[in-house]
Each structure stands twice: as C-alpha cells, then as structure tokens.
Amino acid sequence: MVYIKMQPIYKIMSDRKTLTSSFNNNTTLDEVNLEVEKWAQRKVEELKTLKTLEDYRKDYVGNVSHELKTPIFSIQGYLHTLLEGGIYDENINIKYLKKALSNTERLQTIVDDLEMIAKLDSEANSIEISSFDVIKTIKRAVGDLEGFAVENEIDLILKYDLTEKLLVLGDESKIRQAIYNLLVNSIKYGKPKGRTIIQISTIDDIILIEFSDNGVGIEEKHLKHIFDRFYRVEPSRSRAIGGSGLGLSIVKHIIEAHNQNINVRSTFGEGSTFGFTLKKA
Ligand code: ADP
C-alpha cells in the first residue's frame, strides 16, 4: 500500500516518467527518507541558481537601458535646441548636428557589443575551431586600427619575426575580435606619444599573446572587476571616448570559450599588459 502511494512521489522526484530501479517493494522508509532529503537539497540548489540568474538578468536589463538612455537624452537635447531656433544660429547648428550624430554612433557601438554578447551567450559551445596563422590575424587587426592609432598618437609595434607563420587552433574571427578589443583599449587608454607592444611567447604547445601599453594604467582595486560586463574604472571618461563597458567582457568570453586563459597586470599611471593563451596547431 505504502509502496503504491510512494510511486508517484518517486516519479516526481526523479523527474522521469518511469520509476527508477532504486525504488521497489523492498525499499525501506529510511531509504525513502534519504532520497527525499537529497531531492529537497537539489531543489534548494536549483532555486538558488535560478535566483542568481534572475538577479543577473534584472541588473543586465537595468544596465542596458541606462547605457542607451545617456546617448538618447543627448540626441533629444540637441534636436530640441535646434528645433527651438538653434537651427538658425550658425554658432551651434552644425556643431549640435555633429554631436547628435556622434551620439548615434555611440548607440551603434553599444548595440553592436550587445549583439556580440548575445551571440556569444547563445553560441556558447559553437566556437568553430580551425588552424590559422595568428600573425596574419594580428596584422589584420593592427591594419584596421592604423588610423585610430595615428589619431591618438600611439605606435602599434608587433615584436615577432614577421616572415614566420604561427599556426594556432581557434575561431579566427572571434580571436580577431578579442585582439581588436585589446588593441582598441590600449589606444583609448594610452597616453599621447605612447606605444603598444604586441609580444608572443611560446611555452610547449601553448602560445601567449601580450599587449603592453604605457598608458594610464589601472588601480589594483579595479583589476578584479574590469572583465565584468559594464564595469568601467571611470564611467564618464569611458563613455566620452566611445566605450560601451563591454569590450573586455567580450574578450574574456571568447578566450574562455576556447578553454584558454586571459590575464592582466597593471601599474597605475604607468601602463597595462593584457595577455591570453592559445593552443598551437
Ligand atoms: P570600455 O568600453 O569602458 O573601454 P572595457 O570592458 O573594454 O570597456 O574596459 C573596462 C574598463 O577597463 C575601461 O572602462 C577602462 O577603465 C579599463 N581598461 C581597459 N583596458 C585598459 C587599458 N589598456 N589601460 C587602462 N585601462 C583599461
């Protein structure tokens, strides 16, 4: 009788339609008790995880809307001023239109980064690994950033025998994105007449790619947070230079999806070195 009454409960606990073999006519009440306790513990853990995810989702949505609001308010402000007569004032009309445009560009950056994060989240296991020449990838990223580096008076120096190939295993487009983000940061947070050195070293079948700038550096207390989504050391400075606060979290996501490591060393006022590993092909 007890056995028959317990059957449906056991089915629920095991999340299965059929009964587990551990439950039969000979199961004692002590064993049943133990199973129920284990099941309750599992449910407590599941609820904790769901609560953490829910808190994270709320924070994330809050952060996203906050990020979007700032440029939207700016654009509205400029357009209102122009509509209220500013359009005829030659001292401000072009200037305000340019500012409005640059805020739409900020919106674009934020949306692009959010898209990239969403893609990485949904494709967590779909990194497409192939063998590629990482020197070529670095050179492409450096080439794409040449203009930006010149504007900011930063030299990008690749220390490697450029006649040699270096084949690694990874998702080329994603690794290029990671390299690009690290280079962009080294330029954005560099000092004029500065430089970023890209260095490569090999340890057995692992290569380490490092990006060393002599820019503003990062204080110790911020270091453990800078890979978090939306974390910025100086929010107003980062926004002013077009940052979304997502660049490093994207890099970390990409490198970890490759089961590799990323690290940072920095001295405030002197510069930072970001490095990540990759497997040789
Ligand atoms: P952001 O869009 O703000 O640049 P990131 O995620 O790329 O966002 O970087 C997070 C924060 O880490 C930045 O706001 C900046 O304060 C700091 N940071 C990143 N790279 C560097 C660097 N090379 N030198 C100094 N600070 C950096």
CATH number at residue 251: 3.30.565.10
For residues 52 and 42, what is the distance between their CA atoms, to the nearest angstrom?
Answer: 16
Closest ligand 1 atom to residue 235 Cα is 14
How far is residue 97 from each of residues 67, 73, 81, 87, measured CA to CA in Å?
A: 21, 14, 10, 9
Ligand 1 centroid from CA 149, angstroms? 16
If we measure between CA atoms, which residue out of 274, 254, 112 comes closest to residue 185? 274
Ligand 1 centroid from CA 273, angstroms? 12
274 and 231 inside one domain: yes
Is the C-beta atom of 190 inside 6 A of ligand 1? no
Ligand 1 centroid from CA 49, angstroms? 29
Is the C-beta atom of 215 inside 6 A of ligand 1? yes
Ligand 1 centroid from CA 216, angstroms? 10
Q: What would the mean pLDDT of 61-69 be, rounded to a whole number?
A: 92
146 and 275 inside one domain: yes
Domain of residue 147, residue span: 130-280
68 and 175 inside one domain: no
Q: Of 89, 107, 125, which residue is a domain's last?
A: 125
- pLDDT confidence tier of residue 22, bands split at 50, 70 and 90: low
Specify the CATH number for the domain of residue 35. Answer: 1.10.287.130
Share of the chain above pLDDT 90, in %: 72
171 and 136 inside one domain: yes
pLDDT of 57 above 80: yes
Largest CA-CA distance found in the chain, in angstroms, rounded: 92
Is the C-beta atom of 189 inside 6 A of ligand 1? yes
Which pLDDT value is given to residue 242?
A: 78
pLDDT in tens, 156-208: 999 987 778 999 999 999 999 999 999 999 999 999 999 999 999 999 999 99
Burial (Cβ within 10 Å: 0-12, 13-18, ≥19) of residue 215: buried
Which pLDDT value is given to residue 109?
A: 92
Share of the chain above pLDDT 70, in %: 95
Which pLDDT value is given to residue 26?
A: 76
For residues 251 and 159, what is the distance between their CA atoms, to the nearest angstrom?
Answer: 22
Domains identified in the chain, total number: 2
Q: Give me the chain's average pLDDT, please.
A: 91
- What b/e readout covers 254-272, taking b as 16+ CB neighbours within 10 angstroms? bbebbebebebebeeeebb
Which residue, judged by its Cα, is nearest atom 19 of ligand 1? 185
pLDDT in tens, 234-275: 988 888 887 889 999 999 999 999 999 999 999 999 999 999
Q: Of 104, 125, 146, which residue is a domain's last?
A: 125
Which residue, judged by its Cα, is nearest atom 21 of ligand 1? 185
pTM, entire model: 0.82
Which residue, judged by its Cα, is nearest atom 12 of ligand 1? 226
Ligand 1 centroid from CA 111, angstroms? 18
Closest ligand 1 atom to residue 249 Cα is 6
Is the C-beta atom of 251 inside 6 A of ligand 1? no
